[in-house]
Amino acid sequence: MPFENHDLGVFAAARAEKLRKYADIFNKFNADGYDTFLDAFIVGPLGGWDQENDNVLRRLAISVKYAALMKKLMVADALKWSRDAYVEHITAHRQYQA
């Protein structure tokens, strides 16, 4: 998760890293004849939303209405986990039990 500090370059760097990380899997499925698409959703720990995510949602043919809901859910989830990590760091009490 990139830390968004008013620097949109961190989102681009995070996206590039995800593309690099999963390129081998993408290439494997592509070589096997599958119609593949590789991109990433980037959401910052403070709820920052990379505008490129909207292009990914369109590419995946997600409806505008559901895309708006997905955005809210993804941002809320990022905020929840960031908050839990912070509280756990400060209090030394585990916030999530598997």
**Confidence (pLDDT) at 58:** 95
Show the low-confidence residues of the chain (pLDDT under 70): 1-8, 96, 98
64-91 helix and 52-59 helix, angle to the nearest 10 degrees: 130
SS (H, E, C) the chain: CCCCCCCCHHHHHHHHHHHHHHHHHHHHHHHCCCCCCCCCCCECCCCCECCHHHHHHHHCCCCHHHHHHHHHHHHHHHHHHHHHHHHHHHHCCCCCCC
- Note the pTM of the prediction, 2 decimals: 0.74
The angle at the Cα of 26, spanning 18 to 77, to the nearest 5 degrees, equals: 40
